[in-house]
Structure 1
Amino acid sequence: MDYSKFVGKLFRLCQLGRKVEKSIYTQQYELMLEILRNARKTAGISQAELALRLDLTQSKVSKCEVGERRLDFIEVREWCRAIGLPLTTLLDEIEVGISRLEAMKASLRKPAKKRTRKAQQ
Structure 2
Amino acid sequence: MGNFSEKSLFSAEGEAVRLALREERKRRGLTQAAVASGCGWPQSVIAKIEQGERRLDLVEFLWLARALDAKPEVLFGAIMRRVRKCPA
Report the TM-score, using the length of structure 1 for normalisation.
0.64
Residue aligning to 2:82? 97
Provide the secondary structure at the position in 2 that maps to 1:101.
coil
Residue aligning to 2:11? 26
- Deviating runs (4+, > 2 A) in structure 1? none
Q: Give 1:46-85 correspondences, 5 Å limit.
A: 46-85=31-70
Equivalent position amino acid for 2:54 in 1: R
Question: Compared with structure 1, are the counterparts of its residues 97 and 55 closer, same or farther at alpha carbon in structure 2 (3 Å cutoff)?
Answer: same
Question: Is 21-30 or 89-98 further displaced after alignment?
Answer: 89-98
CA distance in 1, matches of 2:20, 2:4: 27
Computing the radius of gyration from Cα coordinates, the structure with the larger value is 1
Whether contact under 8 Å (2:36, 2:42) holds in the other structure is yes
CA distance in 2, matches of 1:65, 1:39: 11
Query: How far is the alpha carbon of 1:48 from its aligned partner?
Result: 1.1
Question: Compared with structure 1, are the counterparts of its residues 19 and 95 closer, same or farther at alpha carbon in structure 2 (3 Å cutoff)?
Answer: closer
Over the aligned positions, Cα root-mean-square deviation in angstroms equals: 1.7
Question: How many residues are treated as equivalent by the alignment?
Answer: 86
CA distance in 1, matches of 2:56, 2:18: 9
Q: Percent identity?
A: 31
Q: Choose between structure 1 and 2: higher helix proportion.
A: 1
5+ residue gaps, structure 1, are 1-17, 106-121
Which string of whole-angstrom CA distances, capped at 9 and with x for unpartnered residues, describes residues 88-116 of structure 1? 112222222222224xx5xxxxxxxxxxx
Provide the secondary structure at the position in 1 that maps to 2:45.
helix
CA distance in 1, matches of 2:79, 2:45: 23
